[in-house]
Amino acid sequence: MLVRSQGNRVLFFQDELDADITPAYFDGDYWQQQEAIIGSAFGRGVTWFFKLAGDEYVLRHYRRGGLIGKMLTDGYCYTGLKSTRAYQEFMVTQKLLGMGLPVPKPMAGQVIKRGLYYQADLITAKITGARDLVKVLSNESLTEQQYLEIGRMIRDFHNAGLWHADLNIHNIIIDENNKLWLIDFDRCKFKKPDDIWKKSNLDRLKRSFLKENKKIEQFHWQESDWKSLLTGYNN
C-alpha cells in the first residue's frame, strides 16, 4: 500500500494505482461525468458503483448514524491517519484478503482533515453479480448445503480472529457463481479467540434473520435454516 499527502488530504491505495490515483476518484460526480456509473445504493448516503478499464468498483463515503449523525453527519475526530475508520477498514480487509478469505479487495481510501475532524471515503472492488442474503431470501429459499457453507464461512473468519462489528445478512453476499463473500469491515477488529465474542457475533446475525423475516412478507427463511447454519459453523 502507498500513502500520499496533498495538503489536508491523505490518499492511500494499492501500488497498481500509483500512476492514476487522484482526489477525483472519490467524487461520485466525477464518475458520472465520465459516464462510468453503473449503479448506486442508498443507506445513510449514496454508494456509487463505477467501471474503470473493464473493472468494477464501489465508492463509499463514511457517514455517521444515530443521534450524533444528525449533528456531525460525516465528521469524525482526527487522532492520526492510522486511527481513521477508512484506513483501519482498508488494513483489516487487506489482512483478510492475504489470509485467503472471501472479501472484496480494498483499492483506495482518502482522509480529508478539517480542523479537529476528518471526512473519509473508501473504494473497493465490486463483487460481480452480488446479491446480499436479504435480496436473495426475498425471492427464493437457500438450500441446506448453502446454509452449511455460510456457517463454515463465518467460522473461518472467526478462526482468523475477525470480530465483525455489523454481522448481518446485508453483509453476506452471493455472487453470480454462487460463491459466498463477507463485506463491510468498518469498525471490525482482530481479537484473541474467545467463545463469548464469537457467540455474540452469531447472535447478532440471527437477530438480522429474525428482523427481516418479520419485516418482509415473503421472506424464505425458517428456524431450521439457522440450525443448518450452526451445523456448518460447528463442524
3-state secondary structure of 13: strand
Pairing of strands 117-125, 76-77: antiparallel
3-state secondary structure of 234: helix
Domains 2-125 and 131-234 share a fold: no
DSSP state of 114: E
CATH topology of domain 131-234: Transferase(Phosphotransferase); domain 1 (1.10.510)
Q: How many whole angstroms separate alpha carbon 88 and alpha carbon 92?
A: 6
User: Grid coordinates 467463545 are at which residue?
Assistant: 195
C-alpha cell at 230: 450452526
- DSSP assignment of 141-183 equals PPPHHHHHHHHHHHHHHHHTTEE-TT-STTSEEE-TT--EEE-
In the chain, the amino acid numbered 39 is: G
Contact 85, 62 (CB under 8 A): yes
Q: How many whole angstroms separate alpha carbon 160 and alpha carbon 176?
A: 26
Q: How many whole angstroms separate alpha carbon 191 and alpha carbon 194?
A: 8
List, by residue number, the catalytic residues.
166
What local confidence, expressed as pLDDT, does residue 69 receive?
46
Q: What are the mean pLDDT values of the chain's consecutive 10-residue runs (235 residues total)?
A: 95 93 96 95 83 94 70 88 97 98 98 96 96 97 98 98 97 96 97 96 98 96 98 97
Give the DSSP H or E segment for 109: strand 106-114
Please list, in sequence order, all residues whose beta carbon lies within 8 angstroms of the beta carbon of residue 95, skipping any fewer than 6 positions away: 190
Give the DSSP H or E segment for 9: strand 9-13
CA distances from 34 to 29, 37, 45, 58 (A): 9, 8, 21, 15
3-state secondary structure of 39: strand
Q: Domain 2-125 is in which class?
A: alpha beta
Q: Taking the domains of the chain in order of start, what are their residue ranges?
A: 2-125, 131-234
